[in-house]
Amino acid sequence: MSRLAGKVAVVTGASKGIGAAIAQQLAAEGAAVVVNYASSKAGADAVVASITAKGGKAIAVQGDVSKPAEIEKLFAETQAAYGKVDVLVNNAGIYEFGPLEAITPEHFHKQFNLNVLGLLLTTQAAVKLMGPEGGSVINISSLVGPMPSPTASVYSSTKAAVDAITVSLAGELGPRGIRVNSLNPGLIETEGVHAAGFIGSDFHKHIEKTTPLGRIGQPGDIATVAAFLASSDAGWVTGQTLIAAGGARQ
């Protein structure tokens, strides 16, 4: 399949998990991919190696997208390598849960600086490299944006903000042919979810029991939807929040 042939895609936070799966899927469909990472060079290099081993094109570029100077560097290196951007996947993010009494300014700003401000500044930089043919911005949000979870008031609010930004920017950038959509996963089995102790927990069992499709998601479940949103198959889709959660209702 080559519906993204000739396209250049930047995927933030792509050294593992959902971001890695999206980078690999976009490359499999013909895009040249910039695999962005904040600290895991080994992980990003492994994703690039997996892409190039299959004949795809990819480079790894370091950049913490909560830091404006590193966003600038990310897109300078992207422009030097590929000359343009057609697809931006804003996947980089952080989640920390805690009850109301545990919320601190540090807890708040750590999540908002990356999940919201970083996303805005990354999009700002990316659209400067999108040509007259337009492009696609895909914001990886979360089921807890429209369906907030207890003890996740700050994280849920960052993802609600992402969904609001998506609608606003779709209206603003539409005249330039740039589509903007949110892709909102439910619980996905990633390295981070394992590290957090969710797999095998009562929470995991509850999600499986209450999800109509009877399981939690895999990174590939999100990657294939992202590829659709990146492609011309979704050419009439913008300003939408697409929930990919197996029918789960948090």
Domains in the chain (CATH in brackets) are 8-244 (3.40.50.720)
Quick one: pLDDT at residue 154? 97
* Whether residue 95 lies in the annotated active site: no
pTM over 0.85: yes
What is the DSSP-derived secondary structure letter of residue 211? S
- pLDDT tier, 229 (very low <50, low <70, confident <90, very high otherwise): very high
- Sign of CA pseudo-dihedral 37, 91, 65, 78: positive
Say how far apart CA 3 and CA 147 lie, in whole Å: 33
Q: Which of 37, 82, 95, 155 is catalytic?
A: 155
For residue 24, count CB atoms less than 10 angstroms from its CB and return exposed for 0-12, middle for 13-18, buried for 19 or more: buried
Quick one: pLDDT at residue 231? 98
- The model's pLDDT over 3-30, given as tens digits with 9 standing for 90+, comes to 999 999 999 999 999 999 999 999 999 9
Quick one: pLDDT at residue 205? 85
- The model's pLDDT over 171-213, given as tens digits with 9 standing for 90+, comes to 999 999 999 999 999 989 888 888 877 788 888 888 888 899 9
Quick one: pLDDT at residue 210? 87
pLDDT tops 70 at residue 125: yes
pLDDT tops 80 at residue 117: yes
Q: Within 10 A of 220 (CB to CB), how many other CB atoms are there?
A: 14
Higher pLDDT pick, 84 / 205: 84
Half-sphere exposure of 125 (CA within 13 A, CB side): 24
Q: Who's near 229: CB < 8 A, 6+ residues apart?
A: 136, 138, 179, 181, 183, 237, 242
Phi, psi of 57 (to 5 degrees): -115, 130
Average pLDDT score, the chain: 95
Q: Within 10 A of 165 (CB to CB), how many other CB atoms are there?
A: 20
- pLDDT tier, 1 (very low <50, low <70, confident <90, very high otherwise): low
The pair of three-digit structure tokens given for residue 93, joined into one six-digit string: 């993010």
- Sign of CA pseudo-dihedral 20, 60, 140, 32: negative
